[in-house]
Structure 1
Amino acid sequence: MSKLRIAGATLNQTPLAWENNLNNIREAINDAIDKGVDILCLPELCITGYGCEDVFLSEWLYTKAMECLLEAKSYCKNITVAIGLPVKHEGLSYNATCMIRNEQILGFYAKQNMAGDGVHYEPRWFTPWKSGTVDKIIIEGDEYKFGDIIFEIEGVKIGFEICEDAWREVRPACRLFEQKVNLILNPSASHFAFEKTRLREKLVVDSSKNFHCTYVYANLLGNEAGRMVYDGEILIARYGTLIKRNEWLSYKHMQLQFADVDFGNEDETYAAPDEWPRDKNTEFVKASSLALFDYLRKSRSKGFVLSLSGGADSSSIAVLVAEMVRRGVEELGAEDFIKKTGISTLQVGDTSDHPSVIKQLVSQILTCAYQGTVNSSEATFQSAKELAESIGATFYSWLIDEEVNSYTQKIEKALNRPLTWETDDIALQNIQARSRSPIIWMLANIENALLLTTSNRSEADVGYATMDGDTSGSIAPIAAVDKHFIITWLRWAERNLGYTALNYVNNLQPSAELRPLAQEQTDEADLMPYPVIVEIEKLAIRDRKSPVEVYHALNAVKLESSELLKAHITKFFRLWSRNQWKRERTAPAFHLDDFNVDPRTWCRFPILSSGFETELRELNELD
């Protein structure tokens, strides 16, 4: 068997962006040819983009995808390339990969296992191919093999697993091993989630060992369609050893990673690949900043607007935008970063002075406003002001008491009575949050910018947010993570990322600041301790346990006293049930954890229900 240079490439694609996607494919193939690559694996559905959603139900999409494939075929001079696309065959839709060698189609492998759990809906669009079955497909009068195919190039047997295929216990690789396949290619669209990179690496390495092969994995990159973030990993493993890895979550629209493999020498050794920091704090900032960058440029917006309260949530988002700029400039250079944003009005001075350039760009990309009331503290104002100035953001501040008083007086006149904190607490809190929304939206509209929503996952759990107030916005960058994580991450960011101005917010108790200052309102006094919410949420939402099951699990570890735990579990389930309508209306969020509470992706729940009435009664009847 031959010694071959094999490679994977990651691509930052956009659904239905035919020209963009083909340009990226062509660049990857050309780069591979320049580097002497023999076999190149591109990601799953890279022609159309993975996130086309129900457009996959349209007939014309398959015609257009095939036209693009035939165009891409002409790029493949003296190289073998695997290109992912949807294919219509005998009236059914398949998720397929086409193998092309020297401008000639060799055949199509069709995905056998559809991802249909969590955030995935593949069974809605595609039909799984039956293992071991091979058919014929006619394209422009020529006949090609279609289905479960093994290819052979220069004596090397090549098989496929497409993403989900590899995550099943009974998987194509089992049959490929029996057929003595030497090389398995895995074109993937595997979304980012905390710590998933280690699971993915283990899958690739174990696969190469268990099936005695060389295994090439190539994933999509970036925020492709709005919610999912792809980390763009390229992994090459051989006989249980990882031999190549690229740097993940890159701002580049294409990366290539290759290895020279002597398929006739089973004792060949390789140097260990580079390692990257993959702790949860680093993952969060890398994934979120890249997601913001792609969302900004793909939505063709001119920047971001943020209602910066000086609290933890809005402060974390301000830092993420600053990191978006810093990381983009450091990886791409200032000129390429500016060009890639698509914002023609961006201007900077000396591009060699990175700290100055970053602050100049942040000032043009991020506009923040502190919207105070009589209930706002000097401490939160200073927190917002110091952070905005330290990162270079444009900063405004104004009071909204006039607007709040106008609304309040109209209602008092209509009801013919004064509103008081004793009788109208929620209404008096909410009108402040809602009064901030129209003016910050106005600023976002004027600047043709995206309004950033500051809600987090813990607030979504229990409805601790004002609809059309702090939930207003175009995108919710932190809605997929819990408040306890945000608080701990801000302390990490102060120490490890150099944002010393976070010292202000890191010394504050989280508070909505909607009641009179004399009442000393805090979030945890209104709700329960955030670490408690996190533990209840894991069991109740992620693991789908009943109130009694949650109680037994947490009482066993003595999270808090039994009676207090019952009270907090009861409160959580009641608030969860009551506030589904809010979760239905929140802005799109990046999927970052292994679960989320977005009903449009991971967690569906009825808007109207019993509110766990029977289950909570059983809980509170326990001795």
Structure 2
Amino acid sequence: MGHLITVATCSLNQWALDFQGNLQRIIESIKKAKLAGSKLRVGPELEICGYGCLDHFLEDDTILHSWECLSEIIEHPDCQNILLDVGMPVKHKSVRYNCRIIIYNKKILLIRPKLSLANDGNYYEMRYFTPWKGVRVVEDHYLPRSITKIMGQKTAPIGDALISTLDSALGCETCEELFTPQAPHIAMGLDGCEIYTNSSGSHHELRKLHTRVELIVSATLKSGGIYLYANQQGCDGDRLYYDGCALIVVNGKVLAQGSQFSLNDVEVITATIDLEEVRSYREHKSRAMQTRDQPKYERIEVEMSLSSEVDEIDLLLHPSPARAVVYNTPEEEIAYGPACYLFDYLRRSKQAGFFLPLSGGIDSCATAVIVHSMTRLILRAIQLQENPQVLIDLHRICGESEGSTWEPKSPQEIANRIFCTAYMGMEKNSSPETRKRAADLAAIIGANHLDFDIDPVFDAQVKLLTSTTGFEPKFKMYGGTKVSNLALQNIQARLRMVNAYTLAQLLPQINGRREGAPGSLLVLGSANVDEQIRGYYTKYDCSSADINPIGGISKTDLKSFIHWASQKDNFGIGLLQQFLDAPPTAELEPLTEDYVQGMTYNELSVYGRMRKIDKLGVYGMWEKLLHVWGDKLSPQQIYEKVRFFSWNYAINRHKMTTVTPAYHMEAYGVDDNRFDMRPFLYPSFEWAYRKIERSIKQMGAAAWIRDRDVDKQPQTSEPNALLLSAILDTQQDEAETTIPVAPREVAPRPASVAARIDRRSKQNYTKECFKLNFGLSGD
């Protein structure tokens, strides 16, 4: 018997509850795996029903239809003579489990429930499923009568067991289990398992792929083995994009890698592996010693071999060489992830295209460039003939008649058929520069662009308000109050939303869409994650849309993406540099030279990460920022910044309850749906504020002493700069610039103060502060 095996794993663009489509994609992947010579095919987590069914998992219909699909797979002629690892929910003793079904030639060998459920961030598996009873626990599961009728099999083992072929042993590890401290592959490997299958439903998040790949590589680096990773790829009906990247790893080396972003519905990767390489890799005494006392797994034996059953050497079969892992840059992730998501959303919603309010600013510009990226990907898929379904879907989206032979020749030709933009300005408030930038960008990417002012509607609304109440609101610069100034801005913003939806509904008809071709335009939003944290947008303005492709992306990353897209080697849109150079403004009031929102985007990113990722409250955030910003700001100034942010966050949190569904991309996202669940009616954080104030006061009565600039205003004495100086051990020049502080400016400290402080007194004072505040020695 030979020892070279060919194995296959895949990425499938499944759609929650699309049982017919999901079944077709599963069977297609099995066909491709067999065509490549593989005798083992691994699929994504819950691939039959789709991973994103959410509360539909609680319906027995979902399980019923999954069994019905499985019966078709079992009977299908193309699904024979290959070991299959398929995912679906199973109900055992009235308890729902997230399971793998291992099948070979019309027999269910094992139902393997998930041991550790994902229940963080966007994952709420414990809402629908229960973890399996324990490691190595196996019971009998009584199969549905429909399955028994087909196979004559009444029961199947359910639990944590291994599959033994004639030439190797295989074990399952499902998604989250890889990320746990006691991952199953360690114990399985010590009991002789050589092949690990991991079926996942892992969604895209910026810079997350590195972590996933490193875990998979490390899983086989220490104890050897073959690791097959499968994942969904695409939008399956929710805010998440599953980013594929199927992997085959052997002994810590990557042999095959699938794409992270693609318009393909089915992507199969294969590798040929020498089993003897795994066995020789494991020839270590320390590993052998650990296997002695290793508890044994129950083995499910199957009369098949993954390798050739003859001893003759096949000269045409070669082990696959190792290859370097391909990672996309964050800018490429922004360019391709949301673009693929938008195409899935568009074709599956059966609409006619997209409408975008294009303001001439960075955010709407970024959304437009992402749509441009989508049209580029569509054109590439058509030209390379990677997936015939792309052209079929495009014909339907564009309203082409049946039998049409139209094929686009450029991304602009596609955009001209499916993408409309509009600049909705105000004569007094809008600048010629933003108007021109919007028009120029639309022309470059091929969008149908409208340019008009909403002054008549705005004036009519103000007139109606005045005639109804007798009060005439005015902008602040014309003598109005802050309240009236804000109200006038909000009127403009909300009028744009109303106009956006009206145009989205009527533009296909206005532009001559074929009569009888259904569909309107999907409205795109353009609010970034930092502005959502801050609440820096109007409720029910243009942030209200059907989908927001940039709602999970920080302003800093968006700017990097725009710069990337401007480069000749990428999208080559040189105009984008003008968007980067332009000052940010919402253009909701008559223009002035200064326009601030009280904090920088970099600061917003810091607050967002501390709030969500570090799980810090107001006090914890201030305490940590003492060490992050302490070399530039006093504790009092840091407190003012934290208090300003927390106040804005609290009063604007209600906006997130109605915010447009956004493509999830950032780990500190604020999506109210299920990722970031918090109250929307907050009290003031007085308890935390007082604790901070007591801490500042407790630190001492000396002046804020530093070899640099400090606050000169007589508000609160801040001697803990002495403490921070020693902790951070920083040496700052007198001329160093400070971060802008809201709400007051930083003034330079007289050099004479520093002259009175020597290094020794700093060290002594630091020790005392440590003892006083933290109960530590300070040494």
User: Structure 1 length normalisation: TM-score?
Assistant: 0.95
The equivalent of 1:175 in structure 2 is 187
Residues 254 and 324 in structure 2, CA contact (< 8 A), matched pair in contact too? no
Task: Give the stretch that moved more between structures: 153-162 or 592-601.
Answer: 592-601
The answer to whether residue 216 in structure 2 is matched with residue 216 in structure 1 is no
Structure with the larger RCO, 1 or 2 (CA within 8 Å, 6+ apart): 1
Q: Choose which of 367, 372, 394 in structure 2 pairs with 1:322.
A: 372
The superposition leaves residues 401-443 of structure 1 with CA deviations (integer Å, 9 ceiling, x where unpaired) of 1111111112222332321223111111111101111111011
Q: Choose which of 636, 657, 678 in structure 2 pairs with 1:605.
A: 678
Letter in 1 for 2:218: D
For the residue of structure 2 that corresponds to 1:602, the secondary structure is coil
The equivalent of 2:576 in structure 1 is 502
For the residue of structure 2 that corresponds to 1:46, the secondary structure is coil
The equivalent of 1:64 in structure 2 is 65
Runs of at least 5 residues in structure 1 that lack an aligned partner in the other structure: none
Letter in 2 for 1:475: I
For the residue of structure 1 that corresponds to 2:410, the secondary structure is helix
Pairwise CA RMSD: 2.0
Residues 227 and 249 in structure 2, CA contact (< 8 A), matched pair in contact too? yes
The answer to whether residue 359 in structure 2 is matched with residue 294 in structure 1 is no
Partners of 1:609 and 1:417 in 2: CA distance: 32
For the residue of structure 2 that corresponds to 1:48, the secondary structure is coil
The equivalent of 1:412 in structure 2 is 466
Residues 2 and 154 in structure 1, CA contact (< 8 A), matched pair in contact too? no
Residues 226 and 295 in structure 1, CA contact (< 8 A), matched pair in contact too? no
Residues 533 and 670 in structure 2, CA contact (< 8 A), matched pair in contact too? yes
Instruction: Go from structure 1 to structure 2 and tell me whether the alpha carbon gap of 1:499 and 1:336 turns closer, same or farther (over 3 Å shift).
Output: farther
For the residue of structure 2 that corresponds to 1:579, the secondary structure is helix
Partners of 2:260 and 2:165 in 1: CA distance: 30
The answer to whether residue 333 in structure 2 is matched with residue 260 in structure 1 is no
Partners of 1:513 and 1:568 in 2: CA distance: 26
Q: Choose which of 476, 488, 498 in structure 2 pairs with 1:438.
A: 498
The equivalent of 1:189 in structure 2 is 201
Instruction: Go from structure 1 to structure 2 and tell me whether the alpha carbon gap of 1:343 and 1:392 turns closer, same or farther (over 3 Å shift).
Output: same
Q: Matches of residues 312-351 of structure 1 in structure 2 within 5 Å?
A: 312-333=362-383, 336-341=389-394, 342-345=396-399, 351=407
Residues 511 and 521 in structure 1, CA contact (< 8 A), matched pair in contact too? no
Partners of 1:462 and 1:313 in 2: CA distance: 15
The equivalent of 1:551 in structure 2 is 622
Letter in 2 for 1:605: R
Task: Give the stretch that moved more between structures: 28-37 or 391-400.
Answer: 28-37
Partners of 1:489 and 1:135 in 2: CA distance: 52
Q: Choose which of 479, 489, 500 in structure 2 pairs with 1:429.
A: 489
Residues 43 and 218 in structure 1, CA contact (< 8 A), matched pair in contact too? yes
**Offset at residue 567 of structure 1 (A):** 2.6
User: Structure 2 length normalisation: TM-score?
Assistant: 0.77
**Offset at residue 277 of structure 1 (A):** 4.2
Instruction: Go from structure 1 to structure 2 and tell me whether the alpha carbon gap of 1:470 and 1:619 turns closer, same or farther (over 3 Å shift).
Output: farther
The equivalent of 2:423 in structure 1 is 370
Partners of 2:410 and 2:538 in 1: CA distance: 37
The equivalent of 1:516 in structure 2 is 590
**Offset at residue 459 of structure 1 (A):** 1.4
Identity %: 29
The superposition leaves residues 219-277 of structure 1 with CA deviations (integer Å, 9 ceiling, x where unpaired) of 11111122111111111111111111122211100111111122134469752335434
The equivalent of 2:660 in structure 1 is 587
Partners of 2:354 and 2:234 in 1: CA distance: 19
Partners of 2:55 and 2:382 in 1: CA distance: 34
**Offset at residue 336 of structure 1 (A):** 4.7
Aligned length in residues: 617
The answer to whether residue 88 in structure 2 is matched with residue 85 in structure 1 is yes
Residues 513 and 521 in structure 1, CA contact (< 8 A), matched pair in contact too? no
Q: Choose which of 603, 608, 615 in structure 2 pairs with 1:532.
A: 603
For the residue of structure 2 that corresponds to 1:454, the secondary structure is coil
The superposition leaves residues 174-226 of structure 1 with CA deviations (integer Å, 9 ceiling, x where unpaired) of 32123210101001111111121111111111111234211111111111122
The equivalent of 2:17 in structure 1 is 16
Q: Choose which of 633, 641, 648 in structure 2 pairs with 1:568.
A: 641
The equivalent of 1:596 in structure 2 is 669
Instruction: Go from structure 1 to structure 2 and tell me whether the alpha carbon gap of 1:620 and 1:382 turns closer, same or farther (over 3 Å shift).
Output: farther
The superposition leaves residues 581-605 of structure 1 with CA deviations (integer Å, 9 ceiling, x where unpaired) of 1001101111112231012121111
Letter in 2 for 1:443: L
Partners of 1:571 and 1:453 in 2: CA distance: 27
Instruction: Go from structure 1 to structure 2 and tell me whether the alpha carbon gap of 1:616 and 1:497 turns closer, same or farther (over 3 Å shift).
Output: farther
Residues 304 and 449 in structure 1, CA contact (< 8 A), matched pair in contact too? yes
Partners of 2:619 and 2:351 in 1: CA distance: 48
Letter in 2 for 1:48: C
Letter in 2 for 1:614: W
Residues 462 and 579 in structure 1, CA contact (< 8 A), matched pair in contact too? yes
Partners of 2:169 and 2:321 in 1: CA distance: 25
Task: Give the stretch that moved more between structures: 295-304 or 113-122.
Answer: 295-304
**Offset at residue 535 of structure 1 (A):** 1.4
Task: Give the stretch that moved more between structures: 275-284 or 239-248.
Answer: 275-284
Q: Matches of residues 445-464 of structure 1 in structure 2 within 5 Å?
A: 445-446=505-506, 447=508, 448-464=520-536
The superposition leaves residues 523-562 of structure 1 with CA deviations (integer Å, 9 ceiling, x where unpaired) of xx12321112111222123312233332333343337533
Instruction: Go from structure 1 to structure 2 and tell me whether the alpha carbon gap of 1:315 and 1:611 turns closer, same or farther (over 3 Å shift).
Output: same
**Offset at residue 279 of structure 1 (A):** 1.4
Partners of 1:569 and 1:259 in 2: CA distance: 53
For the residue of structure 2 that corresponds to 1:557, the secondary structure is helix
Letter in 1 for 2:441: L
Runs of at least 5 residues in structure 2 that lack an aligned partner in the other structure: 149-153, 282-318, 509-519, 697-717, 719-779
Task: Give the stretch that moved more between structures: 271-280 or 234-243.
Answer: 271-280
For the residue of structure 2 that corresponds to 1:526, the secondary structure is coil
Task: Give the stretch that moved more between structures: 6-15 or 337-346.
Answer: 337-346
The equivalent of 2:434 in structure 1 is 380
The superposition leaves residues 143-163 of structure 1 with CA deviations (integer Å, 9 ceiling, x where unpaired) of 111111211122211000010
Instruction: Go from structure 1 to structure 2 and tell me whether the alpha carbon gap of 1:71 and 1:506 turns closer, same or farther (over 3 Å shift).
Output: same
Task: Give the stretch that moved more between structures: 55-64 or 329-338.
Answer: 329-338
Partners of 1:199 and 1:277 in 2: CA distance: 11
For the residue of structure 2 that corresponds to 1:438, the secondary structure is helix
Partners of 1:362 and 1:338 in 2: CA distance: 14
Letter in 2 for 1:512: A
The equivalent of 1:541 in structure 2 is 612
Letter in 2 for 1:190: S
**Offset at residue 74 of structure 1 (A):** 2.3
For the residue of structure 1 that corresponds to 2:333, the secondary structure is helix
Partners of 1:516 and 1:397 in 2: CA distance: 19
Instruction: Go from structure 1 to structure 2 and tell me whether the alpha carbon gap of 1:170 and 1:362 turns closer, same or farther (over 3 Å shift).
Output: same
Residues 346 and 364 in structure 1, CA contact (< 8 A), matched pair in contact too? no
Partners of 1:230 and 1:103 in 2: CA distance: 30
**Offset at residue 301 of structure 1 (A):** 1.4
Q: Choose which of 469, 473, 480 in structure 1 pairs with 2:541.
A: 469
Partners of 2:13 and 2:215 in 1: CA distance: 23
The answer to whether residue 249 in structure 2 is matched with residue 237 in structure 1 is yes
For the residue of structure 1 that corresponds to 2:211, the secondary structure is helix
Letter in 2 for 1:13: Q
